[in-house]
Amino acid sequence: AKSAGGNRFELADPESDARAITRHALTTALPAALERGEFFIEYQPLVHLGDGSVRGAEALVRWAHPQHGVLGPDRFIPLAEHTGLIVPLGRWVLEGAVRQARRWQGTDTGPVRINVNVSPMQLHHPGLVADTVDILEREGLEPGALCLELTESALIGADDDLLKPLRRLAEMGVDIALDDFGTGYSNLANLRRLPVSVLKLDRSFTRGMQQYPADPVDRKIVEGIVALAHSLDLSVTVEGVETGAQADALRELGCDTAQGWFYARPGPPDRLHTLDLADAVG
């Protein structure tokens, strides 16, 4: 960033310039990377808090960049959203994740449901419903095995036109999850109007559960959210469960499903297949 005010010159900030150059280079490289197959998907199990069984997995995309190594989604998803490449990239992730879910079903030891993140731009794209139906049919997965995750900020304030494709998918049996719940400005009453069946409580809420007994204020908040969610027939998934104390507290508070490093980090699909959670669940 170079700027000159009158006779005064500011030095460029070399670090932010380097970051901007990298961002630009990464953005330019995205389409070819998709064509060359440099993206891959890791899976993180979703664990039922009641009985400790693996109920499903969330698909999380990564980029095996030839120069920079493996890049996490936070490095390139915003860039892909900026250029619109998120639409074909998101379709690619959906297809790969659905195919993997179908494979797991055939083995009956892997996760049975698959969660896939959908960015707001995909929701605005007219092909979302058709693409999803097409992929489910082609891969032979029933709609009820798929859960699409949209962030709270993408859905709160969305008008009816924007919600229409989600309603269509929900009517077919696809689950819709409200991701990162609690980080936006949700009007809780608004929840009723959204075609969602799952609330994913953001990691920030589970942090206060790290010590045992859990932070009393955080407890109260989670307790309230769980009560509200259940009264609206929504199930509650908690993110970022890193310790057994957190898992215990969240189970006591009535949360349904958990996800986090305590159970497993995101990893290749074959690792999930053989995952033994007996130790973690106790």
Q: Give the interface with ligand C2E as residue ranges (CB under 6 A).
A: 44, 60-61, 72-74, 77, 90, 93, 117, 119, 179-180, 239-242, 259-261, 266
The CA distance from 217 to 240, in Å, is 19
The helix/strand/coil state of 17 is helix
* Rounded alpha-carbon distances, angstroms, from residue 63 to 32, 72, 93, 147, 216: 12, 7, 12, 23, 40
Tell me how far, at minimum, the Cβ of 74 lies from ligand C2E, in Å.
Answer: 5
Angle (CA) 229 232 237, round 5°: 35
* Rounded alpha-carbon distances, angstroms, from residue 223 to 44, 197, 219: 25, 18, 6
Residue 77 contact, options ligand C2E, Ca ion, none, Cβ 5-8 Å cut-off depending on partner type? ligand C2E
> Closer CB to ligand C2E, residue 86 or residue 229?
86
Tell me how far, at minimum, the Cβ of 108 lies from Ca ion, in Å.
Answer: 26
Tell me how far, at minimum, the Cβ of 137 lies from ligand C2E, in Å.
Answer: 21
Tell me how far, at minimum, the Cβ of 180 lies from Ca ion, in Å.
Answer: 4
Residue 90 contact, options ligand C2E, Ca ion, none, Cβ 5-8 Å cut-off depending on partner type? ligand C2E
Residue 131 contact, options Ca ion, ligand C2E, none, Cβ 5-8 Å cut-off depending on partner type? none
Backbone angles phi, psi at 112, to 5 degrees: -100, -20
Tell me how far, at minimum, the Cβ of 44 lies from Ca ion, in Å.
Answer: 9
The CA distance from 153 to 210, in Å, is 26
Residue 266 contact, options ligand C2E, Ca ion, none, Cβ 5-8 Å cut-off depending on partner type? ligand C2E
Backbone angles phi, psi at 280, to 5 degrees: -65, -35
Residue 56 contact, options ligand C2E, Ca ion, none, Cβ 5-8 Å cut-off depending on partner type? none
* Rounded alpha-carbon distances, angstroms, from residue 266 to 83, 133, 234, 274: 27, 27, 25, 14
> Closer CB to ligand C2E, residue 5 or residue 279?
279
> Closer CB to ligand C2E, residue 44 or residue 100?
44
> Closer CB to ligand C2E, residue 104 or residue 202?
202
Burial class of residue 247, CB neighbours in 10 A (0-12, 13-18, 19+): buried
User: Which two tokens mark 130?
Assistant: 């058709």
Tell me how far, at minimum, the Cβ of 262 lies from ligand C2E, in Å.
Answer: 7
Contacting residues toward Ca ion, per CB under 5 A:
117, 149, 179-180, 239
> Closer CB to ligand C2E, residue 96 or residue 110?
96
> Closer CB to ligand C2E, residue 215 or residue 242?
242
CB 266 within 8 A of CB 42: yes
